[in-house]
Amino acid sequence: MDEKTMVNDILSGIKSELTTYQGVISETENMQLRQTIQQIRNSDESFQFELFKIAQTKGYYKSAQPATVNEIQTVKNELQ
């Protein structure tokens, strides 16, 4: 398995974990457990962003084209 595949696999896995953490956090009543899971999520988010920056620098990830001002305004109008 090449480096690009491994990095993208890790990024995909972290994205899934972050979604799971959010669901668990929103359903956890125990504040100590909730805070612990939030800390884990925050740590994973930081790791994900650092790995993303490395992947982007190495050309493993290409961002989508930025939205135009008109596209942004259309979305804003639809959400209001």
Task: Give the whole-angstrom CA distance, residue 41 versus residue 25.
Answer: 9
- The dihedrals phi and psi of 57, each to the nearest 5 degrees, come to -60, -40
Task: Give the whole-angstrom CA distance, residue 21 versus residue 36.
Answer: 11
Q: In this predicted structure, what is the pLDDT of residue 78?
A: 94
pLDDT digits (tens, 9 = 90+) for 9-65: 999 999 999 999 999 999 999 999 999 999 999 999 999 999 999 999 999 877 788
Task: Give the whole-angstrom CA distance, residue 46 versus residue 43.
Answer: 5
Task: Give the whole-angstrom CA distance, residue 2 versus residue 60.
Answer: 11
Q: Report the Cα 61 to chain-centroid distance in Å.
A: 14
